[in-house]
């Protein structure tokens, strides 16, 4: 029997309903067994706004609690040195049944930028990509699929979900200004942010 596992990588700084909605929709539409959320390590390429990887991990853990087909892995935050998605898929493959197909979930913005990712062809050979629509970059996504030719057509799948024009960037700004983020993030995450005085100016 073959297995279908979703991988959802992100900085989740902080996690919000945009992330949770696309993960649930991908699970349902593609008949995935489970989704593994993988918070990224702290990297010099992306400003983490002084929120370290363990805090981001904890917010994801709280956000997915109670959903039996969601889980979390520290695989990237525990890895030494630079972390590439292709290494993560390889490592997960070693731990899973040989008949496992991996589906990497990402927003259109991220998938459209695939030509700029390191080891992108290896990655497309190693897993499917599920591109969750986000208001930006739709035309660029079509170009990206064409860029990879047959591989792109076979491996880049699109997911239709209601588009939620929110991002961690917007929420960080609102949190810093004391604007309510209720209903845009799970209550448990809002509580954690308050208790640890995160995202304050
Ligand atoms: P930031 O604003 O800090 O860049 P983000 O909100 O894009 O963060 P990430 O943790 O970087 O969140 O995103 C992880 C993945 O989730 C990315 O592939 C991103 O495209 C996707 N994603 C985030 N928010 C949404 C959304 N509202 N709709 C669809 N996809 C999303």
CA of 98 to the centre of ligand 1 (A): 30
Ligand 1: residues whose CB is within 6 Å? 10-13, 18-19, 22, 106-107, 109-110, 132, 134, 164, 166-169
In angstroms, the CA 59 to CA 55 distance is 6
Mean pLDDT confidence for 10-22: 97
Task: Determine, yes or no, domain membership for 101.
Answer: yes
Residue 192 in any domain: the answer is: no
The label of the residue with tokens 């209720």 reads: 182
**Would 91 be classed as within a structural domain?**
yes
The number of folded domains in the chain is 1
Distance of CA 89 to the CA centre of its chain: 14
Q: Domain span at residue 45? A: 3-164
Are the CB atoms for 26 and 130 separated by under 8 Å?
yes
| ipTM greater than cut 0.90 | yes
């998605």: which residue's tokens?
Answer: 85
Is residue 172 one of the residues assigned to a domain? no
| pLDDT above 80: residue 29 | yes
Mean pLDDT throughout 168-185?
A: 97
Weakest mean pLDDT among 108-122, 135-149, 178-192: 135-149
From residue 194, give the alpha-carbon distance in Å to each of 41, 130, 158: 23, 33, 36
Range 44-63 burial, b when 16+ CB lie within 10 A, else e: eeeebeebebebbbbbbbbb
The answer to whether residue 12 sits within a structural domain is: yes
Residue 11 lies in a domain: yes
Closest CA to 19 of 181, 123, 161: 161
- Domain harbouring 24, CATH code: 3.40.50.620
How many angstroms separate the Cα of 63 from the Cα of each of 12, 37, 67, 90, 121? Answer: 11, 11, 9, 26, 32
For residue 132, tell me if it sits in a domain.
Answer: yes
pTM: 0.96
pLDDT score of 135:
64
Q: Which atom of ligand 1 is nearest to the CA of 170?
A: 2
Nearest CA to ligand 1 atom 22: 107
Segment 78-90 mean pLDDT: 89
Structure tokens at 71: 């889980």
Q: Rounded to 5, what percent of the chain is helix, strand, coil?
A: 45, 20, 40
Judge whether 169 lies within some domain.
no
């Amino acid at each position: 029997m073959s297995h279908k596992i979703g991988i959802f990588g992100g900085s989740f700084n902080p996690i919000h309903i945009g992330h949770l909605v696309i993960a649930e929709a991908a699970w349902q539409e593609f008949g995935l067994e489970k989704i593994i959320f993988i918070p990224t390590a702290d990297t010099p390429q992306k400003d983490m706004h002084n929120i370290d990887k363990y805090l981001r991990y904890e917010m994801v853990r709280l956000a997915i609690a109670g959903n039996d087909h969601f889980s979390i892995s520290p695989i990237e935050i525990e890895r030494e040195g630079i972390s590439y998605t292709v290494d993560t898929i390889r490592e997960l493959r070693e731990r899973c049944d040989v008949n496992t197909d991996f589906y990497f979930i990402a927003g259109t913005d991220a998938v459209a930028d695939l030509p700029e990712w390191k080891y992108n062809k290896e990655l497309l050979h190693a897993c499917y990509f599920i591109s969750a629509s986000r208001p930006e970059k739709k035309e660029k996504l079509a170009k990206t699929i064409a860029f990879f030719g047959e591989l792109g057509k076979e491996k880049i799948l699109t997911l239709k979900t209601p588009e939620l024009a929110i991002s961690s960037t917007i929420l960080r700004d609102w949190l810093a200004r004391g604007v309510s983020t209720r209903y845009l993030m799970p209550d448990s995450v809002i509580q954690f942010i308050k208790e640890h005085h995160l995202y304050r100016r």
